[in-house]
Amino acid sequence: MSDIKRIAILTGGGDCPGLNAVIRAVTKTAICKYGLEVVGIRKGYHGLYHKDFVPLTLDSVQEILSEGGTILKSSNKDNLFIYPIRDENDNIVRDENGKIMYHDVSDVAVQNLKEAGIDALFILGGDGTLTSGRDFSRKGVNVIGIPKTIDNDLAETDYTFGFDTAITVATESFDRIRTTAKSHGRIMVVEIMGRGAGWLTLHGGIAGAADVILIPEIPYDINKVADKIKADFAKGKDFAIVACAEGAKPKDGEAVVLKVREDSPDPIRLGGVSHVVADQLEELCHNEARATVLGHTQRGGVTTGHDRVLSSRYGYAAVELAMQGKFGNIVALHGDKIGYASLEDVIGQKTKNVDPNGELVQMAKALGICFGD
């Protein structure tokens, strides 16, 4: 048994359904089962650097189980190991070529944790946030990672919380868009998040009865997509639903970048491919086509029952890991069993991607779904 008395929780990166449920499970387990003190760090690593600490009590985590977002707030710009230098007026300092200048302020964060008497740091985040988690662990901080992403692309864990909620939002959106597609005889292209992984689009597209699914793992030929839709129209169908991952790319082409966030450690923001695909299909199929970008609706709102349970399991297991002194690990789901994996193994590994020859894709193809390959 470890002798920790005071723990801290931070949420980093994009928000994700289930974060509040994890914060609640960690806090309740820590207080009720082990009598620990719990501290919340606000705005991710920004708060760790600026000592933005608040006490977390049983009262603070009341009525948050179902709520999306994070009561601790989050930031996806604050990598303390590569932190923008700021002048006395808080403006970012640039070199003579206009490039942002960086320095390493991680020792300040380690000192802040020491001064606040924090024995273990629970970090809820995706690959960027957990990379810093690994680096703090290497500096001797007792870190427990809890993997978070709607993209479900993190290595070493089968499913992350938030994924089910995002699929549910996508599925409901397909059901809504379908009625317009049918009423107007349109081709409707629905763009789904997921960065370079097609999990959300594949699951959402299957659940939403899409005719076409385009994912980054299977580069598409737009002519094949158009042929599929024209063949369906020739058989009497007069509308089509295309599930399109934001990271989908044509054969011999690149993903569509919406913007580059220069101040972010993960600067590429994907977006816009559905408009490209819709325009091309309108021309090739001689049929009206429209694009809908689901965007952040997939991350917000109410967390599904499945994700509430999974998040609670992750939060509880994280405290158990800490009490066993197993620091430097993330909580992981292997099959239906909660286990753990080393941060050293998780970081630097390739992201977990859809297998183009895997069972899900084969099943979808057998059901007549076209992947444009």
Sign of the torsion angle spanned by Cα atoms 126, 129, 132, 136: negative
> Is 195 a residue that touches ligand F6P (CB under 6 A)?
yes
Residues near ligand F6P (CB under 6 A), total? 13
Helices (H) and strands (E) in the chain, counts: 11, 15
How far is residue 213's CA from residue 12's CA, in Å, rounded to a whole number?
A: 31
* Closer to ligand F6P by Cβ: residue 184 or 296: 296
Write the interaction track for ligand F6P spanning residues 60-79; mark x where CB under 6 A is met and - where it is not.
----------------x---
> Is 216 a residue that touches ligand F6P (CB under 6 A)?
no
Write the interaction track for ligand F6P spanning residues 289-308; mark x where CB under 6 A is met and - where it is not.
----------x---------
> Is 269 a residue that touches ligand F6P (CB under 6 A)?
yes
> Is 39 a residue that touches ligand F6P (CB under 6 A)?
no
How far is residue 337's CA from residue 340's CA, in Å, rounded to a whole number?
A: 10
Stated length of the chain: 373
Phi, psi of 258 (to 5 degrees): -80, -50
* Closer to ligand F6P by Cβ: residue 4 or 214: 214
Interacting span for ligand F6P (CB under 6 A) from 48-56, 116-124, 190-198, 284-292: 190-198
* Closer to ligand F6P by Cβ: residue 38 or 166: 166
Q: How far is the CB of 273 from ligand F6P (least distance, A)?
A: 12
Amino acid making up residue 259: K
* Closer to ligand F6P by Cβ: residue 27 or 76: 76
Catalytic pick among 15, 119, 151, 232:
151
Position closest to ligand F6P via CB: 193
Q: How far is the CB of 57 from ligand F6P (least distance, A)?
A: 30
Structure tokens of 373? 């390959």
Q: Is 52 left (phi over 0), alpha (psi -120 to 50) or beta?
A: beta
Q: How far is the CB of 15 from ligand F6P (least distance, A)?
A: 8
> Is 198 a residue that touches ligand F6P (CB under 6 A)?
no
State yes or no: is 151 an active-site residue.
yes
Residues of this chain, 130-159, that bind ligand F6P according to CB under 6 A: 149-151
Closest CA to 163 of 131, 197, 188, 212: 197
Find the binder of ligand F6P among 12, 14, 128, 204 (CB under 6 A).
Answer: 14
Contact 30, 61 (CB under 8 A): no
Find the binder of ligand F6P among 17, 125, 194, 198 (CB under 6 A).
Answer: 194
- Residue 284, exposed/middle/buried by CB under 10 A (0-12, 13-18, 19+)? middle
> Is 270 a residue that touches ligand F6P (CB under 6 A)?
yes
The secondary structure of 70-106, three-state, reads CCCCCCCCCCCCCEECECCCCCECECCCCCECEECCH
Find the binder of ligand F6P among 56, 146, 154, 193 (CB under 6 A).
Answer: 193
> How many angstroms separate the most distant Cα atoms in the chain?
71
- Residue 357, exposed/middle/buried by CB under 10 A (0-12, 13-18, 19+)? exposed
> Is 124 a residue that touches ligand F6P (CB under 6 A)?
no
| Binding interface with ligand F6P (CB under 6 A) | 14, 76, 126, 149-151, 193-195, 246, 269-270, 299
Looking at the annotation, which residues are catalytic? Answer: 151
